[in-house]
Amino acid sequence: MNAPEKNVPKVAPVDFKTAPHFPIYMDYSATTPIDPRVADKMIPFLREQFGNPASRSHMYGWTAEAAVEEARGHVAALINADPREIIWTSGATESNNLAIKGAAQFYKTKGKHIITVKTEHKAVLDTVRELERQGFEATYLDPQDNGLITVEQLAAAVRPDTILVSVMLVNNEIGVIQPIGEIAAFCRGKGIIFHCDAAQATGKLAIDVQALKVDLMTFTAHKTYGPKGIGALYVCRKPRVRLEAQMHGGGHERGLRSGTLPVHQIVGMGEAFRLAKVEMDDEIARIKALRDRLANGLQDIEEVYINGDMDHRVPHNLNVSFNYVEGESLIMAVKDLAVSSGSACTSASLEPSYVLRALGRSDELAHSSIRFTIGRFTTEQDIDFAIELMKSKVGKLRELSPLWDMFKEGIDINSIQWAAH
């Protein structure tokens, strides 16, 4: 017998286009709602067109294969790649694992040193840590306080046995855009493989892998209005980059990633990336105007700090710290906004955001930070609501805060010797 369903919470489906919806979704960098046009494209592949693209002897297989190849073309087109350079994976985590472990293991006879950055996503950092456990050596670069690294920093860290560099295109917490073109050109000049995690970049800025000269680039569908559980890895063919497979089996995807292809997911990613290419320019302009409206509104509040460079940044991200506000109370106070926080109370770890800490932010400012990430379905009313809510809640919390009183009275809080306890 099936388990009774009575304990399953019922969540009403949200129509992001029309409904006044609470909490207002401003966490587009965690994941995006799927675009209804993407969902519509996927449905036939969950129903009548269920074939396995590896089935070569009948219509069902051929139809599925054609759909997979069409989607591969759309993904390749968004980044100016050859479709043969696109390998399907289950998402950015798997693409990062395949790229980093695959390249390190293939080129291990050339050297054992890897360089990455402290503000990378855990899917990169933990993968590099695992390689360290296997005997590789790693350098983790410190970003400047605007979140960016420079090619000079990278050059200073390179050793004769450096085989791989991994630097993300867009940071997931603060939205800053790393100088990937310069970094990639530098690596190519030195014969070092360059991998870039672009999970947060698609649809937010133009990507041309040929002009950029990257060797490996990671993508995922669910940050760009596609389904979760599907991603891709770009593997450069000229010059040819080789990888050790991490998943063994039927030899799918040129032997690099075995496993029956999830056709409905792939079709969804293809459509999401096709739409991103067609609509990107208009969307960037619209979303940037909304983000700037939010930034201007929040800057009416005293003691607000923007985290990360504002010039080299994707249009949909705003990450701010509210000084003299306790992180936990702030999260509780803004329940009507679905946002992300740099405080430890929203995560499984006990540390505040390691990204903000790497930028040199104090624990207090890292704790009291909020990441607003907006997107395709965000409206001006949503933005105005968020501004008013933040003004009122931050004001109320500060009324209760002795630290705020001291700050207002001109007492330098950093000079106080707190009693140890």
Ligand X SMILES: Cc1ncc(COP(=O)(O)O)c(C=O)c1O
Active site residue 345: yes
Binding mask 110-139 for ligand X (x = CB under 6 A): -----------x-x----------------
Q: Is 41 in the site for ligand X (CB under 6 A)?
A: no
Q: Which is nearer to ligand FES, 88 or 322 (CB)?
A: 322
The position carrying tokens 């809510």 is: 389
Separation CA 93–CA 106 (nearest Å): 19
Helix axes 122-133, 92-106, angle to 10 degrees: 30
Q: Is 231 in the site for ligand X (CB under 6 A)?
A: yes
The answer on whether 162 is annotated among ligand-binding residues is: no
What does the DSSP assignment read for 138-194?
Answer: EEEEPP-TTS---HHHHHHH--TTEEEEE--SB-TTT-BB--HHHHHHHHHHHT-EE
Q: Which residue is nearest to ligand X (CB)?
A: 91
Separation CA 272–CA 343 (nearest Å): 32
CB of 125 to ligand X, least distance (A): 10
The answer on whether 417 is annotated among ligand-binding residues is: no
3-state class (DSSP) for residue 244: coil
Residue 56 to residues 64, 86, 88, Cα–Cα distance (Å)? 10, 21, 19
CB of 30 to ligand X, least distance (A): 7
Contact between 234 and 85 under an 8 Å Cβ cutoff? The reply is yes
What number of other Cβ atoms are within 10 A of residue 175's Cβ? 27
3-state class (DSSP) for residue 322: strand
Q: Is 310 in the site for ligand FES (CB under 6 A)?
A: no
Which does residue 202 bind out of ligand X, ligand FES, none, counting CB within 5 to 8 angstroms by kind?
Answer: none
Q: Which stretch binds ligand FES (CB under 6 A): 36-44, 98-106, 337-345, 382-390?
A: 337-345
Binding mask 338-377 for ligand FES (x = CB under 6 A): -----xxx------x--------------x----------
Q: Where do the DSSP E strands lie in 256-389?
A: 304-306, 317-322, 337-338, 340-341, 369-373
Q: Which is nearer to ligand FES, 167 or 365 (CB)?
A: 365
The answer on whether 345 is annotated among ligand-binding residues is: yes
Annotated binding site: 92-93, 172, 200, 220-222, 260, 345
Q: Using CB under 6 A as the criterion, which residues of the chain lie in contact with ligand X when the complex forms?
A: 91-93, 121, 123, 168, 172, 197, 199-200, 220, 231
Residues labelled catalytic: 345
Q: Using CB under 6 A as the criterion, which residues of the chain lie in contact with ligand FES when the complex forms?
A: 327-328, 343-345, 352, 367
